[in-house]
Each structure stands twice: as C-alpha cells, then as structure tokens.
Amino acid sequence: MLLNSGMALQFLHHPPRFLFFTGKGGVGKTSMACATALQLATEGKSILLVSTDPASNVGQVFGVGIGHRITPIPAVPNLAALEIDPLAAAQNFRERILDPVRGVLPEPVVKVIAEQLSGACTTEIAAFDEFTALLVDSALTADYEHIIFDTAPTGHTLRLLQLPGAWTTFLETGKGDASCLGPLAGLEKQRTTYKTAVKALTDPACTRLILVSRAQCATLREVARTSKELLSLGVSQQYLVLNGVLPAMDPDCDELATALYQREQAALAALPDTLKTLPRDQVELKPFNLVGLDALRHFFTSDPAPSDTGELSGSRNSPNLSDLIDQIAKDGRGLILLMGKGGVGKTTLAAAIAVGLARKGFSVHLTTSDPAAHLTHTLKGALDQLTVSRIDPTEETKRYRQQVLDTQGPRLDAEGRAVLEEDLRSPCTEEIAVFQAFSRIIREADKQFVVMDTAPTGHTLLLLDATGAYHRAVTRTGVNTNLHVTTPMMQLQDPKQTKVLLATWAETTPVLEAANLQADLRRAGIEPWAWVVNQSIAAAHPHAPLLRARAQNELPEIHAIATRHARRYALIPLMKHEPIGIDRLMELIHIRPEGFDRKTKGNMTDPIPQQNPGA
C-alpha cells in the first residue's frame, strides 16, 4: 500500500507523549524521527526532538546549529530540538567517577576502572543520565506535548538501571569483579529519578517504541531480538516501520532493481514471528538525502520516480576484493579478522576471502560465531583446502556464566548475586566467552590461514588485557590459564600475524560506526589493515533513476573512506543475485566496480605508506 500522507502511518495514530525510535545503524532512525517531529509540529502540537545518536545529524537535517541545548527550529513553529552528545556525556561521566580515586588508588587499578568505563555501556548509560530529566516531570519539558527520541536505550541498559541494591558499595568492595558495571559507580543518588524514568518507559500510556528496519533478513532478525528483549522488560507498545523499501519497477528498466525488489519481498514474506503481531508501516526508498525541510515533508509520501541523474563519473579501475586477497596470499599464512557492525555482510565477506585463499591452494580454516546454518547456507558446498567450524556463542556464554556463578556466587549475598548476574548478561560477557573459544583457534594461524567472522571489539580486548584483567576474567572461572593468557592479544597486535578488515556500507552512519570501531581498535594497539565497502549501489552502476540517485549519495562516503579513513580499501558492488554458493562467492571476489577512480594511499601492489595520524 502506498503511503500518501503522514496520517496513514499507524505509529502516528494517537501518539503518546514519548516516542522512541530505535534500530541498527543506517536504517534511517534520524530521518524517521525528524520527519515525525515535523509532521506533528505541522499539526500544531508543541514538539521537542531529542537525539542521543553518536552520529546525530539532526542539526544538518534542519539546517540549524543545535548542540547540547534546547534550540527552536525557526522555520518550523512549535518545534525545538536538542542534541545530546553521548561521547561528551560519557567523558564527563568518566571524569566524575575517576577524579576522586586518582592519587588514592594504585595507578594500575585506576587504569582498569578507566577501561571498564570506556565501553558502549558507559556511553549509553551516560546518555540516559542526560535525558532522564526529559522523562520525568520537570519545568524543562512542561511546555511540550510530545518528546521524540532518536535512539532508545537497549534492554541491557534498562536492566542495569532496574537492579536492586547499592551498586557503588558492590563495586567498591569488589565482590564480583564486575567487568561491565563500572558505569553504575556513583549513581546511587540517582536511583529514585531512574526508577521514575524506567517506569515512564514501560508505561504504554506514556511511551511508544518504534522499531525501524530495512527489508533485509539479517536486519529483521536483529529487530526481532530487540523487540523480544524489550517486551520482556515491560516496553510493550511497539510498532515496526520498514524503511527504504524499493517500489516495484518495470522489469525492463533495470535487472538489478528487479532482483533487489524480489529479494526484499522475500524477506518481508519471511518476517520473524515476533514482528508479525506488531502494527506495521512501510516507507518507500527515497532518491534524495533527508536534508532540509522540503525533503522531510516528502519522506512519508510516495512520489514519482526521479529523472536520470546523469553519468556516475570515474574510471573502471577501483580496487576489488581480489586485490586484497592477492596481498593477503603473499604471507602464506596468518589470521584474518572480519569486523564491523551487524548487517553489513561480515559472514559473506569472510566466506568469500576463505574461498578465495583456498582456491589459490592454501589451507584455510574459516570459523564464525554466527549461526551455523547461515555460514552453511552461504558456502553451499565444500573445498578440499577449506575447513569450517562454528563457535556457538550461546553455549560458550552459558558455560562461562555458570563457571563464574559457581566460583563467585557462593560468597555473595542476594543483592551481590543479582548484580553479578546482570554483569554476566552484558554484551562484554559474550565477547569474553567467545574470545576464549577463539583463542584456541587463533594459534592455528602460525601454520595456515585462519579467517574469523565476528571478532571482539577493541574495548573488550583492552578490558581483557589491561593490567591482568583478562587473567582475572579467566581465573575467576577456576580454569587453569597456563601460559596462553596474553598470547592471543599479542598476536592480534602483530601486523605480521593478523590482518583486521573493517566491513561497512557506503552510508553515513555505517561509515561513522566503522571509523569509531577503528579508533577503538587503535586504543587496543591494533591497526586495521583494510576497509571493505560492501553492497555499494554506486559500484554496481545501475540504470534505474531511483538507484542512480542513491548511487550519487554514496560517492562522498566512498571518497572519505578512500582518502581519509582507510589505508587500503576494496569496493564491492551490490549484486543482482545474493552471493550464496562457492561460484557466487568467486564472482563477488572478482567483480570489478564500475564508475570510480582508484584513490588509495599508494599502489595496491606496493607497500602502503605510514598511516596519517589524522586519518
């Protein structure tokens, strides 16, 4: 059904006071939140739009400098906006906790606390700390009928804030050697305020959660997990918005567009059961960037297809995945890590690299923590030189949690055990558990190629390594660590043994997230070896005007990767057919992108110059 006005959208029907937009990076949360704010303000309602997204471009969308203050939008009566910088909030948050202990506790202990406070949990809780005042009755928001949030807290953060007891006392006494609860230190005085805020979040009369997704199987599975987790915590009024859905086109217009349309329709037909019961809206893919009021006003409409945007300038000599594989093969062995945010195709890329190396005659071990069916489905075959294994993160995490509870739990009271159990539900716990399993496989890279899909973040690696934290994380399970506790970290930091490839899309938010991940890894002493820009519309050189317009939007991001972010990069076009099976994976490796000049820092076959410190 075509949506001809914002009023046709179900999630805008009788909206409560608080509207939260959540979803993976790059799905259009900010665009959706801004368009919603404009729609409601145009109806004469007083609106406050709040962004807690690290990649926030709300000010750019409206053409107004906003920042950390409530700012009226001059061109839109009834609308004001506020951008909470979560990174700045996290830094202030850390300093409030670290300042009192500097010079009091030993420096190694302070370093461990600082690393505990450097992860995503701290950033999210610090942002929640900032906008808590907006969720409770206060003079600050009394004049606004609706408050719209771009980005919502995760289930993990909500559980942390609902924990009983004195967090500060628990942490100061070190009862559970918690790794992810550092952000809660010093927040005891906020407990009453947080309790009120969490109550508002779980009250369907006050709050509506809008899950934003693309019509892609992997993204929809992630949204289903988010929905189920938040529902279990009492966030019950949920709506699903499918953004950027490709409209049906003349099959003779563009084979790529037709194939993409059929792929999206198949994903929607296989919608996860958790999402089938939710009220659902669908917004078509737009040919334009969502910047400016005119663009926002057309966001919830179905417009005619755009006219042709002209040629996509450039030559046909861009680096492809084969170029990177050729360089990797020169070493004869080593560890290859595929990293990046969920949904950008890490598993497919890992499988393609493994197949490419195996086809060259090398012995390759491909391992993943992704569901086995996904990897098996991607390969759809076997090669003599390729060994495939799977680490089950659920089983590894379950085993790790039980070990910690068995060794630490008996000496804790009920309050302490509750805090420890929540610590063991954190994202860091799964990474630690999986990393222990990965560590056994890493040592194989001395004799062959090991290609690893889904690796721990820089924060987790530092948490494991800083001042013996990894040793404590392992020994608290009662497991004999022998001499291997630091070897995996040392191997990951050695560029002669390990190559990290960052996967992304050529869109603003995924590129920013990859750049943040790169900075995170550099803090851990790991320098990413290359970037892989996956599923690029521009590199596919489409014919349909809608896709050509989208391709033009990708060009600045590709240029930024090639000239500012990456030491090496490969550009992979969006394919008509999903890269499933060994033949399709080989096609993915060798397909040469169209429409771009090669703009790497140095020749792809020569040694890469030293990275610019500002890159």
Annotated active-site positions, please? 26, 28-31, 53, 509
Task: For residues 451 and 442, give the distance between their C-alpha atoms in angstroms, rounded to a whole number.
Answer: 9
Angle, CA 330 vertex, CA 329 and CA 336 arms, to 5°: 45
Task: For residues 344 and 338, give the distance between their C-alpha atoms in angstroms, rounded to a whole number.
Answer: 11
Cα 550 versus chain centre, distance: 22
**Residue from 514, 480, 479 nearest 500 by CA:** 514
- Give the chain's count of helices (H) and strands (E): 25, 15
3-state class of 539 per DSSP? helix
**Residue from 283, 278, 317 nearest 298 by CA:** 283
The region, left, alpha or beta by phi > 0 then psi within -120 to 50, assigned to residue 302 is: beta
Sequential DSSP letters for 15-83: --SEEEEE-STTS-HHHHHHHHHHHHHHTT--EEEEE--TT--HHHHHTS---SS-EE-TTSTTEEEEE
Could you tell me the CA-to-CA distances from 165 to 93, 156, 172, 201, 415 in Å, in that order? 21, 17, 13, 21, 6
Task: For residues 191 and 188, give the distance between their C-alpha atoms in angstroms, rounded to a whole number.
Answer: 5
Cα-flanking dihedrals φ and ψ of residue 610, to 5°? -60, 135
Neighbours of 75 (CB within 10 A): 12
Neighbours of 187 (CB within 10 A): 19
Q: For 120-250, list the strands marked E by DSSP.
A: 146-150, 207-213, 238-245
**Residue from 93, 605, 518 nearest 327 by CA:** 605
The region, left, alpha or beta by phi > 0 then psi within -120 to 50, assigned to residue 226 is: alpha
To which H or E segment does residue 127 belong? helix 120-135
Output Rg (C-alpha) for the chain, integer angstroms.
24
